[in-house]
């Protein structure tokens, strides 16, 4: 027997939360389902992984987010399958739920592009769980190296986009300031951070000026750049590049791309680039009735014909827009094509160093101004006052005093880092 709901939203990321809030404000009954009981703020995951902020700054319980939304019911459950044509979903605990309108907002999963060893050995960075596992792995590796006078630490970050640059920059600064201070300058001298990408430059989508600024800063803080070489294999002790050379790394972080998850594959919806659904400009899925697909699991083209990237701002605006089209559906009015307000993009490179290209005109900022803008924008976007206060405190502590927010990262990690043997005689 199926339970029926006017609107079911699967996924409570930027897109799903924005849609649920908008519908909740208008008193529409919504069932919001996520496998986690919290909303996670992906743009700051790398700061959790590098101990710059704690998990509680970037994860907010969904029931707290929707406390004042009387018509939005939160359900913590993993959705196992979606039948888009029937608008029926089944959950891991065996429920079958039917929706008048179904909104699919399940985000993305890492795309390893069939690189041998990547799924087995690399650490992805797309969830709080990923970030804490990576943080634990790094801490464990530092402790191992500290026990061994000849031990070294090599971390390889694959992917020179914003996530890879932010992660590599933060790790290199941790080596420079935190490892020197909390372990020893000798251990810091034995730590290396490598950044690898098949394209010749970092931050491919940014201007040449921003790319050059980011490259200079990364080099300045000690990141070793291996650009223009794709990764052909990931091993438990490093990566092999297309020219046959090898980069050592007890930890390999994968920031190399995204694709839609299996849920989309099994939904009956036609998949386009990256396994995502090529939605119509009103954000509905083609070939079925009453199904919206938004955020990172959709290829979204706005009313001007521009193909939009997988970004938090696109997901959030699409969530809001889908909700207004659902309201139009309910009133029997026609839907409007999605109009995206392009606010530009930015990337943090390190302490006091960032790049920003703002608005449609791409006003360029580099250095301290971009850094402050990045902090302000991310503070404003974080969900919840407590989370904002925690993040602000951690940033002041970290950027001014060089104190990590989380010195203790414990617990088992799935991808064990190999214990280093002392060198033989």
Ligand X SMILES: Cc1cc2nc3c(=O)[nH]c(=O)nc-3n(C[C@H](O)[C@H](O)[C@H](O)COP(=O)(O)OP(=O)(O)OC[C@H]3O[C@@H](n4cnc5c(N)ncnc54)[C@H](O)[C@@H]3O)c2cc1C
Indicate the residue among 126 and 213 with the shorter CB distance to ligand X: 126
Question: 149 vs 181, 297, 353, CA distance in Å?
Answer: 17, 47, 33
Indicate the residue among 110 and 151 with the shorter CB distance to ligand X: 110
Cβ proximity of 345 and 319 under 8 Å: no
| 43 is a site residue for ligand X (CB under 6 A) | yes
Select from 104, 153, 315, 382 the one that contacts ligand X (CB under 6 A). 315
| 126 is a site residue for ligand X (CB under 6 A) | yes
Select from 7, 8, 9, 12 the one that contacts ligand X (CB under 6 A). 12
Instruction: Report the interhelical angle of 312-331 vs 14-25 (nearest 10°).
Output: 30
Catalytic residue among 22, 166, 173, 357: 166
Query: How does DSSP classify residue 285?
Result: P
Stretch in the footprint of ligand X (CB under 6 A) among 14-22, 93-101, 149-157, 326-334: 14-22
Stretch in the footprint of ligand X (CB under 6 A) among 1-9, 43-51, 134-142, 169-177: 43-51
**CB 283, min distance to ligand X, A:** 12
DSSP reduced 3-state for 79: strand
Question: 233 vs 110, 226, 240, CA distance in Å?
Answer: 16, 15, 5
Stretch in the footprint of ligand X (CB under 6 A) among 102-110, 196-204, 333-341, 400-408: 102-110
Residue whose C-alpha is closest to residue 370's, from 215, 214, 165: 214
Give dist(CA 122, CA 176) in Å, integer: 24
| 188 is a site residue for ligand X (CB under 6 A) | no
Residues 295-314 binding ligand X (CB under 6 A) are 295-296, 310-313
Q: Is 173 a catalytic residue?
A: no
Indicate the residue among 183 and 338 with the shorter CB distance to ligand X: 338
Residue whose C-alpha is closest to residue 234's, from 194, 205, 191, 203: 194
Contact pattern from residue 349 through residue 388 relative to ligand X, giving x for each residue in contact according to CB under 6 A and a dash for the rest: ----------------------------------------
Give dist(CA 25, CA 327) in Å, integer: 11
Residue whose C-alpha is closest to residue 15's, from 82, 77, 105, 78: 105
Query: Which phi and psi (to 5°) does residue 156 adopt?
Result: -110, 125
**CB 393, min distance to ligand X, A:** 21
Residue whose C-alpha is closest to residue 82's, from 110, 109, 106: 106
CA quadruple 110, 62, 294, 364: dihedral sign: negative
Cβ proximity of 295 and 11 under 8 Å: yes
Indicate the residue among 36 and 144 with the shorter CB distance to ligand X: 36
Residues 6+ apart with CB under 8 A from 51: 135, 139, 174, 178, 404, 405, 406, 407, 409
Indicate the residue among 87 and 190 with the shorter CB distance to ligand X: 87
Contact pattern from residue 227 through residue 246 relative to ligand X, giving x for each residue in contact according to CB under 6 A and a dash for the rest: --------------------
Indicate the residue among 77 and 250 with the shorter CB distance to ligand X: 77
Indicate the residue among 16 and 384 with the shorter CB distance to ligand X: 16
Residues 155-174 binding ligand X (CB under 6 A) are 162-163
Residues 6+ apart with CB under 8 A from 219: 225
Select from 23, 58, 84, 125 the one that contacts ligand X (CB under 6 A). 125
| 37 is a site residue for ligand X (CB under 6 A) | no
# residues near ligand X by CB under 6 A = 33
Select from 63, 78, 219, 273 the one that contacts ligand X (CB under 6 A). 78
**Residue 146, both tokens:** 């500290």
**Residue 376, exposed/middle/buried by CB under 10 A (0-12, 13-18, 19+)?**
exposed
**CB 238, min distance to ligand X, A:** 22
| 124 is a site residue for ligand X (CB under 6 A) | no
Q: Look at the block and give the residue holding tokens 């006017």.
A: 6
**CB 10, min distance to ligand X, A:** 6
Stretch in the footprint of ligand X (CB under 6 A) among 4-12, 235-243, 265-273, 277-285: 4-12
Select from 20, 75, 105, 179 the one that contacts ligand X (CB under 6 A). 105
Give dist(CA 363, CA 268) in Å, integer: 42
**CB 166, min distance to ligand X, A:** 7
Residues 250-289 binding ligand X (CB under 6 A) are 261, 263
Q: Which residues bind ligand X (CB under 6 A)?
A: 10-16, 33-36, 42-43, 45-46, 78-79, 105-107, 125-126, 162-163, 261, 263, 295-296, 310-313, 315
Enumerate the active-site residues. 166
């Amino acid at each position: 027997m199926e339970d029926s709901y006017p609107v079911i939203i699967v996924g409570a990321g930027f897109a799903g939360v924005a849609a649920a809030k908008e519908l909740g404000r208008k008193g529409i009954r919504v069932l919001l389902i996520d496998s986690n009981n919290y909303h996670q703020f992906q743009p700051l995951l790398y700061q959790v992984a590098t101990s710059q902020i704690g998990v509680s700054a970037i994860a907010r319980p969904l029931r707290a987010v929707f406390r004042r939304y009387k018509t939005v019911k939160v359900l913590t459950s993993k959705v196992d399958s979606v039948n888009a044509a029937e608008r029926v979903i089944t959950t891991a605990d065996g429920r079958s739920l039917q929706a008048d309108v179904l909104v699919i907002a399940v985000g993305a999963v890492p795309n390893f592009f069939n690189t041998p060893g990547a799924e087995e050995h690399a650490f992805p960075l797309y969830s709080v769980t990923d970030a804490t596992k990576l943080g634990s792995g790094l801490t464990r590796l530092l402790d191992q190296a500290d026990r061994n006078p000849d031990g070294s630490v090599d971390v390889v970050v694959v992917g020179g986009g914003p996530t890879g640059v932010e992660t590599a920059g933060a790790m290199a600064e941790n080596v420079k300031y935190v490892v020197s201070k909390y372990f020893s300058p000798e251990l810091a001298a034995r730590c290396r951070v490598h950044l690898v990408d098949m394209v010749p430059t970092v931050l491919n989508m940014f201007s040449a000026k921003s790319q050059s600024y980011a490259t200079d800063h990364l080099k300045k803080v000690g990141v070793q750049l291996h650009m223009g070489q794709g990764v052909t294999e990931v091993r438990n002790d490093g990566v092999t590049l297309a020219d046959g050379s090898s980069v050592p790394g007890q930890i390999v972080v994968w920031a190399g791309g995204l694709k839609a998850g299996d849920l989309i594959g099994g939904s009956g919806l036609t998949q386009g680039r990256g396994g995502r659904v090529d939605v119509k400009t009103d954000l509905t899925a083609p070939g079925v009735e009453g199904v919206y697909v938004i955020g990172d699991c959709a290829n979204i083209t706005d009313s001007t014909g521009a193909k939009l990237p997988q970004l938090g701002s696109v997901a959030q605006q699409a969530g809001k827009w889908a909700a207004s089209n659902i309201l139009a559906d309910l009133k029997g009015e026609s839907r409007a094509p999605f109009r995206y307000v392009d606010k530009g993009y930015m990337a943090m490179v390190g302490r006091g160093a960032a790049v920003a290209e703002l608005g449609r005109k791409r006003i360029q900022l580099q250095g301290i101004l971009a850094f402050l803008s990045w902090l302000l924008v991310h503070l404003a976007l974080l969900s919840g006052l407590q989370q904002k206060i925690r993040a602000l405190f951690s940033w002041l502590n970290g950027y001014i005093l060089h104190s990590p927010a989380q010195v203790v990262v414990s617990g088992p990690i799935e991808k064990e880092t190999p214990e280093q043997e002392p060198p033989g005689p």
